[in-house]
Each structure stands twice: as structure tokens, then as C-alpha cells.
Amino acid sequence: MSAKRKRVVLSLKVKVEIINQLKKGDDIKNNSEKILSFVTAFLRGFCCNEKARMFSEKMGVAGFKASTGWIRNFKNRHGIRELDIAGEKLSADGEAANKFVDTFKKGTENYDPDLVYNADETGLNWKVLSRKTLASTREQSAPGHKVSKDRVTIMVCANSTGTHRLPLLLIGKAKKPRAFKNAAKLPVTYTNQKNAWMDSSIFLEWYDKTFIPEIKKFKTETGKK
């Protein structure tokens, strides 16, 4: 029985080095900047889904349905993960930031404030105890304890007037936490990720299954268009 073929995945660094070595060709020279800029390009999940659908049609694969769950499993199977890009290309640009603030204000002038939403995420170390305690003046010190690293990510979302607050998005590590065993209905939207972090697939799934339905419901109840 032949040995199982090992999957080889080239890092972006190696790919860039290959491009640099192939600069002798005219086509490579003319397109080198465009190719190298791909290193910092962010490819969204829905773009991958659309491309997968296109390939499935060309290959005649029947019944294929690309979804956020499919793209997440695809990345897990092939060892693809999302990393923060470091370097000068992502250095803060104060001038551009100020221009964006003005552009954003102008862009939202004609929108109903009730329909302008903002979402933000934060980490919560929910088992961390206080580093301080009360003790008698005769006590010289207090016994310490090991700091718990149990952490979840929480995302909050509301409209600019505060009249519509969506259920919290809670991201933990466990797929089915034991604490939820007898909970018939949760007051939050729960999902899981191995590091309890937000990623693009979780956000897109929340956007499709929570955000859009909640906005439609709010508009119906308030008569918004």
C-alpha cells in the first residue's frame, strides 16, 4: 500500500520569493506589483462561496450548496486560517482617518438614524477574580490565587438612536456547553470557535441569520421603509 500523499501548502512568504525569482519574464515584470499586492488582499467568505458555485457548475456537480458552514469546514480541512497582516502597509494613517469621518457623516446624512447600526466586540474573562480584597489591619498579606483564563467574546449591536438593541452574540469554545443543557431558550445568540474568537465566517453567519431578520422585524414593527 502506497504512503498517503502529504498535502503541501506554500506560505505567502515563499510565494512572494518565487515571484521575485521569476521576474525575468516580461509578463511577470509587468504584473509584479499586482501579484505582490495580493499578499495583503482580504478575500471574504462569500467571494469563495461564489467561486465554488461557479466551479461546481462547470464540473457538473449536482446538489452543491456553498454556505458559511461549508467555507468554514473547507478552511479547516485544508489548514487555512486567518492572520493579522503586520507591516508598514497597515500603519495608521491619521489624515485618511479624518477624511473618512467626514465622508461617513456625509454618507449617512440622508439615512434614518434608526436604521444606522454599529457593532463592536470585546473579550470577557468571565471567571477572573478581583486582584484586591478587604482584610484586617493586622493582616500583612492575603493569599493569592491562580488567574483563570476562561474567556468568551461578546459582540453588541444597536442602532444610533438606541431604540433597537440586538441580542448579544456570544462566542465560546464549546459547541454545546454543559451549562446550557436545560436551557430551553437563550437570551443571546451563541456560537463556538476553538479560541472563542470572532472570525469572518461567524460574522457572516450572524449577519445572515440574526442581523437581517432582526432588522426586518424592527422595520415591520415601527413602519420603517
pTM of the predicted protein model: 0.53
Alpha helices in 108-206 (DSSP H): 200-206
| Residue in this structure with the C-alpha cell 507591516, named with its chain if needed | 87
pLDDT value of residue 115: 94
pLDDT value of residue 6: 55
Strands ordered across the beta sheet of 189-192: 117-124, 152-159, 169-172, 189-192
- What is the CA angle 164-166-172, rounded to 5? 160
**pLDDT at residue 28 greater than cutoff 60:** no
What is the Cα–Cα distance from 195 to 171, expressed in whole angstroms?
A: 9
- What is the CA angle 11-202-187, rounded to 5? 155
DSSP letters spanning 104-124: HHHHTTTS-GGG-EEEEEEEE
**pLDDT at residue 109 greater than cutoff 70:** yes
pLDDT value of residue 173: 92
Query: Which of 214 and 139 is assigned the larger pLDDT?
Result: 214
Confidence of residue 86 (pLDDT cuts 50, 70, 90): low
